[in-house]
């Protein structure tokens, strides 16, 4: 996934989160490890959006889909 954003700091955080997610998913030993990597990714994106004053509600849905209740 490539995420570009006009807010450079949020964009950089998204790129870093995606790089980390790709590494963790590629080395995951099982489905639980993949799910954990996905949750960490969406939380990082959400937290960056909040810190940058960007909309973040859409990331809560991804987290709900992963079974976190949106948090």
Please work out, in degrees rounded to the nearest 5, the angle formed at the alpha carbon of residue 42 by the alpha carbons of 31 and 29.
20
Residue 18: CB atoms within 10 Å: 16
State the pLDDT confidence band at 70, using cuts at 50, 70 and 90: confident
Tell me the pLDDT tens digit for each residue of 20-41.
999 999 999 999 999 999 999 9
The domain segmentation of the chain, as residue ranges, is 8-65
Residue 15: CB atoms within 10 Å: 14
Rounded CA gap, 1 and 53, in Å? 22
Q: How much is the pTM?
A: 0.88
């Amino acid at each position: 996934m490539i995420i570009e954003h006009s807010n450079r700091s949020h964009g950089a955080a998204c790129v870093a989160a995606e790089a980390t997610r790709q590494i963790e998913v590629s080395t995951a030993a099982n489905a639980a490890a993949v799910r954990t990597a996905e949750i960490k990714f969406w939380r990082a994106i959400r937290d960056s959006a909040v810190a940058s004053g960007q909309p973040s509600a859409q990331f809560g849905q991804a987290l709900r889909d992963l079974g976190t209740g949106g948090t």
